Structure 1
Amino acid sequence: MGASGTGIRPPLFERLAATAEDRGSADFDRQALADSVRGELLRLLNTRRGSRPLTTPASVLDYGIADWSALQAERSADRRQLSREIRDAILRFEPRLQPGEIELLSIEGQRQRLRVRLNGVLRGGERCWPVSFLIEDGADGFEVRHERLD
């Protein structure tokens, strides 16, 4: 998992799923934290919920983002809507990532496909690092890649 002494604890599910060898290292390092957040973004952005939140405050029933398949990448209103969906989902369900700028880019010649650059701050314990994730519409939903900014 990573170097001990960083103060960054893996989420409970990852600790439970860890192998015996991984359990010997209690803390995440920065890369393991970014990989963990990337995995959560994959699950979060590839999960569809209803068009409106179901509960107040948000619960596990609200996990994911609304269906975006009918949105047009060329329409600014649709890009803003998807950007809000992504930001809201991250704020509700991924506290280790503070989203900053979310830039939605259309792919020339492919009106339904988008590329998203999500800049923000990765938080682990008392430490923070700038981070960027590249999110692309793939064959099976969104694909997420992490880019270090150091």
Structure 2
Amino acid sequence: MFPERLRALRQGRGLSLPELADALNQSLTDYPRERANTGPQIGSWERGVNAPSYIEMMKLADYFDVSLDFLTGREYTEIELDDLFVSTAKLNFDGHQLSSKDKMAIYGMIKGYLHGKQLETNHEKVQSGELTLPLDKI
């Protein structure tokens, strides 16, 4: 998955292999112990012959502004919103970064919506006879 994603990102920017190598080499000041990248080296990554180091992966992710998860092909089929809202991750919506207060308010709205939906579903089940509740709970 990584080779395909790297090739798609590079070609999407209209870069040749040497151009991408040059772009990555500009970040060597952030990674002083790394050697310069070359076009053939990146080509070997795209063909799956070799794999980049962790630092090289970080450089690629930074350059293309993508996560390491995306770059390596990890896909999430399910995300628990509880975890997302209580995480320290910066959440953005419509170009605005949400504050902690915003995140908690939105979290509360989602919980309220789901609670109301559950009550509505239970009420419908009671009326159709699928669910029976004690009379004091209706």
Q: TM-score range by the shorter chain?
A: under 0.3
More strand by share: 1
TM-score (norm 1): 0.24
TM-score (norm 2): 0.26
Report the structure number with the largest CA radius of gyration. Answer: 2
More helix by share: 2
